[in-house]
Amino acid sequence: MKATGTDSVLVMGEALVDLVIKAGSDSSNVTAVPGGSPANVALALSRLGVDVDLVAWFGRDDYGTMIAEHLAASNVRIMPGSDQAAFTPTAQAHLDASGAATYTFNLEWAPLSPIAIPETAKIAHTGSIGAVLQPGASTVLDAFKRAHVQALTTYDPNARPTLMGEVSQARTIVEDFVREADVVKVSDEDLEWLYEGADPVASAQTWTDELGVTLLVITRGKQGPIAWTPTSSKVEFTPAKVKVVDTVGAGDTFMGGLIDTLWRRGFRGAHAASQLALIGDDVLREILSDASEVADIVVQRRGANPPWASELGR
């Protein structure tokens, strides 16, 4: 059991149940698995030993019980009021032959407003559906801005085009969150969708040059991540070659690993961004290595099953 009153990470966003359909199966052959991008980030962080509070929105039904028990088993604290939805959101996750997933959703996102920011929160994270679907997205943006007064802020757009409407509208919403984020992790696929026809690195460069992001990380699948700060070079990291079982939760686990490695290096609290801006290329490469190591483990397993700290020798 974790101690109360210690520094913590606040994660805001959806917790849902993935209804996983394997390649070659029909919709009658379904495996129900707790998921949701921010919930997966919280799960990864907690398993790595970080104190985590999660603001979510799910029901008090069987699927909601599954989510609550799943998160509690990994010591994630669910913030009061998170279980007051009329029903628990679901996402049909269709796996292709390579293990990659595409999603269709049945959900609402209306967390209680305003979201309370724990005094212990030294990093605040959000992204994915929780940062785009109304009415909850406005509630989360308000909380994200308030959290920035006391915490390092991190954001992962994790774009879901089927839920985000016109790309121009989605781009505006994403950029509103980017402006409040010290650290952004984004996939090359997200950038290609948000800025069609533009080079992903060039698109993300505007987030650091014009929107104030301190650490920008682009994930590029097997090619590995690339990252930079205002004072560093663009650092690339080549991940280890591993046998991929599926990619469910891979990006979320990388995000959790990224926050964890920043946390362990002391980048937390209101002044962390100014310190993070000064790191050199070698430290940045180590940060990418740490986050990739965590993600490498999850892709070798079924579903979003992040490693525990003990599996990393900690």
CA distances from 291 to 34, 74, 114, 236, 252 (A): 22, 19, 32, 13, 10
In the chain, % helix, strand, coil (3-state, to 5) comes to 40, 20, 45
Structural domain contains residue 60:
yes
Structural domain contains residue 313:
no
19 - beta bridge partners?
32, 92
How far apart are the C-alpha atoms of 14 and 208, rounded to whole Å? 27
Q: Which residues contact 186 (CB under 8 A, 6 or more apart)?
A: 156, 157, 204, 216, 217, 218, 219
CA distances from 14 to 64, 90, 182, 195 (A): 12, 10, 21, 25
Query: What local confidence, expressed as pLDDT, does residue 174 receive?
Result: 97
Structural domain contains residue 244:
yes
Number of helices (H) and strands (E) in the chain: give both, helices first: 10, 13
Q: Which residues contact 208 (CB under 8 A, 6 or more apart)?
A: 214, 216, 228, 229, 230
pTM of the model: 0.93
Least confident of 23-32, 51-60, 148-157, 282-291: 23-32
Q: Which residues contact 80 (CB under 8 A, 6 or more apart)?
A: none
Name the 3-class secondary structure at 238. coil
* CATH number for the domain harbouring residue 85: 3.40.1190.20
Structural domain contains residue 312:
no
Q: Number of structural domains, the chain?
A: 1
Answer whether the bond into residue 239 is a cis peptide, omega within 30°: no
Structural domain contains residue 122:
yes
Query: What local confidence, expressed as pLDDT, does residue 25 receive?
Result: 63
How far apart are the C-alpha atoms of 200 and 171, rounded to whole Å? 14
Enter the tokens of residue 238.
């080549």
How far apart are the C-alpha atoms of 175 and 94, rounded to whole Å? 29
Radius of gyration of the chain (CA): 18
**Is 70 exceeded by the pLDDT of residue 2?**
no
Confidence of residue 24 (pLDDT cuts 50, 70, 90): low
Q: Which amino acid is at 250?
A: A
Query: What local confidence, expressed as pLDDT, does residue 184 receive?
Result: 98
Give the residue among 207, 200, 218 at the shortest CA–CA distance from 291: 218
Name the 3-class secondary structure at 12. strand
Q: What is residue 135's DSSP assignment?
A: T
How far apart are the C-alpha atoms of 224 and 205, rounded to whole Å? 18
Decide if 279 contacts 232 (C-beta within 8 A). yes
Between 305 and 64, the higher pLDDT residue:
64
Structural domain contains residue 3:
no
Decide if 44 contacts 306 (C-beta within 8 A). yes
Angle between helices 136-147 and 167-180 (to 10 degrees): 20
Residues 44-67 pLDDT 10s: 999 999 999 999 999 999 999 999
How far apart are the C-alpha atoms of 267 and 287, rounded to whole Å? 12
User: Can you give the residue range of the structural domain that contains 34?
Assistant: 8-305
Structural domain contains residue 127:
yes
**Is 80 exceeded by the pLDDT of residue 93?**
no
Confidence of residue 27 (pLDDT cuts 50, 70, 90): low
Q: What spatial distance separates the first Cα and last Cα of the chain, rounded to whole Å?
A: 17
Residue in the structure block whose two tokens are 């379904």: 30
How far apart are the C-alpha atoms of 182 and 215, rounded to whole Å? 7
Structural domain contains residue 167:
yes
Mean residue pLDDT of the chain comes to: 92
Residue in the structure block whose two tokens are 């009329």: 86
Confidence of residue 103 (pLDDT cuts 50, 70, 90): confident
